[in-house]
Amino acid sequence: MGLSADQRKVPCPNCGAPVYLTDDVCLSCGVRLDEGKLAENVPAQQAPAPAATDVQGTAAPTAQAAGGGQAVAYQTLPGARPWHPADLGADGGFFPSLARAWAFFKESLAMGYRDSDVLVPSVLALFANLLLVGVLALILHLTGQLQPLLEEEAEPSVALYSLLVAFTLLGYIVSYFLTSMTVNMVDAYLRGQDAELKVAFADALKNLGAILWIAVIATLINMLTSAMRGKDRRRTAGDLAADAIDKTWQVASLLLLPIIIIEDLPFGEASKRALKLHSQSIIQVVIAEVGLTVLQKILGAVLLLFAVVPAVLAYYLAFPLFYVGLGWAILVLVVTMSLLMYVRTAFYTCLYLWAAAVEAAGEDVPAPAPLQKALSGA
């Protein structure tokens, strides 16, 4: 008698260790196993692809190309149809774009509410960078270099500049590594799987080489834009050019990370892949990205006031309460910055999955459920 699907073993596509067809994760190397990878190791008729399921275990629809192309792995809205920029019609202005961004923000928070693990890397990234800043400030204080750094007219020594560059690079490595974990976990969630920290860590570690390349380039860009900015408070052409470079790199890095993590590509190949996908599909939702940027600035400003005002009032009402107010301000700022970082990562992960699905199908397909809701106003 033949073995059923849940009794059959096939080689892990990453390390070759035996795994069951129904396994989500290889216990030997920690790589996540979706049905596409397993299907490569067995005849199609013996390894039917299971339907994607949501986090509650119920069946979830998957995107299907309009012309009968193959289904994609992520979850979509019931009855969702392919979306095209022409669907915006008269709703392509500033406020409709802001409304779509708000819809995606709410969907991202709902994702985090259903599986709180997806929020953990963003929180860790913020605390890790705060720790690095604290360590750097302590080193500068003990070596007498902190005051020269704070004086605008002072020129940093070679040793001080080298120390700043080293800590900048380390900060980028930590940030991109933890952001890569968020990409892995959002991808798992959108495919109907459990988002697991240990699996995300293993995936990011496997792609550490590409992550290091991104961190190095980010450090070089930081050095370049810092040199371009004027030392006085007036905005110059150099400041505007530096802002444009920073923004361009931020978008580029957020496009690269999902490709590196989900496709396990080295930095060079991931860069070529990003250019190709951008030219084919990603331009469709530039307007949604702009709305998300504006929304994040508005929310950041509002929540900053919500954090700082109580601390200031506590300081003037009764000084001992100032420490309570300061703790409150730090808590609000940590939560706010972590959420904004997570939402932007979730957005670009959805964007990548959608673009890759359009490329594979050769025609428009519905976007992942959170992005589809935002675009359709559902």
pLDDT attached to residue 179: 94
* Dihedral angle over CA of 216, 222, 228, 233, nearest 10: -170
pLDDT attached to residue 141: 79
pLDDT attached to residue 1: 39
pLDDT attached to residue 4: 40
Q: Provide the pLDDT confidence category of residue 173 given band limits of 50, 70 and 90.
A: very high
Integer CA distances (angstroms), 335 to 123, 143, 180, 338, 356, in order:
7, 33, 19, 5, 32
Integer CA distances (angstroms), 115 to 27, 123, 320, in order:
22, 15, 38
Q: Is the dihedral of CA 27, 54, 10, 201 positive or negative?
A: negative
* 273 contacts 263 by C-beta, under 8 angstroms: yes
Residue 58 has pLDDT above 60, yes or no: no
pLDDT in tens, 66-113: 434 444 568 877 766 776 656 655 555 667 777 788 888 888 888 888
* Higher per-residue pLDDT: 27 or 208: 208
Least confident of 78-92, 161-175, 364-378: 78-92
pLDDT in tens, 319-365: 677 777 777 777 888 888 888 889 989 988 988 888 888 887 777 78
* Most confident listed range (7-21, 210-224, 244-258): 210-224
pLDDT in tens, 261-276: 998 889 999 888 888 7
Closest CA to 178 of 109, 132, 225, 221: 132
Residue 128 has pLDDT above 80, yes or no: yes
Report residue 103 CA to chain centroid gap: 17
Residue 220 has pLDDT above 90, yes or no: yes
Q: Region 296-311: what's the mean pLDDT?
A: 80
Q: Region 183-207: what's the mean pLDDT?
A: 92
- The residues, ordered by sequence, that sit 6+ positions from 286 with a Cβ below 8 Å of its Cβ are none
Give me the residue spans of the domains in the chain: 9-46, 85-376
What's the pTM value of the predicted model, to 2 decimals? 0.75
Residue 209 has pLDDT above 90, yes or no: yes
Closest CA to 328 of 317, 342, 313: 313
Residue 139 has which token pair?
């080193």
Residue 223 has pLDDT above 70, yes or no: yes
pLDDT in tens, 23-35: 666 655 666 666 4
pLDDT attached to residue 7: 44
Strand partners, 59: 53
Residue 377 has pLDDT above 70, yes or no: no
* Higher per-residue pLDDT: 148 or 109: 109
Instruction: Please state, in angstroms and rounded to a whole number, the distance separating the CA atoms of residues 297 and 100.
Output: 15
Give the per-residue SS3 of the chain. CCCCCCCCEEECCCCCCEEECCCCECCCCCCECCHHHHHCCCCHHHCCCCCCECCCCCECCECCCCCCCCCCCCECCCCCCCCCHHHHHHHCCHHHHHHHHHHHHHHHHHHHHHCHHHHHHHHHHHHHHHHHHHHHHHHHHHCCCHHHHHCCCCCCCHHHHHHHHHHHHHHHHHHHHHHHHHHHHHHHHHCCCCCCHHHHHHHHHHCHHHHHHHHHHHHHHHHHHHHHCCCCCCCCHHHHHHHHHHHHHHHHHHHHHHHHHHHCCCHHHHHHHHHHHHHHCHHHHHHHHHHHHHHHHHHHHHHHHHHHHHHHHHHHHCHHHHHHHHHHHHHHHHHHHHHHHHHHHHHHHHHHHHHHHHHHHCCCCCCCHHHHHHHHCC
pLDDT attached to residue 250: 82
Backbone angles phi, psi at 18, to 5 degrees: -70, 135
Instruction: Please state, in angstroms and rounded to a whole number, the distance separating the CA atoms of residues 62 and 201.
Output: 27
- For the chain, the average pLDDT equals 76
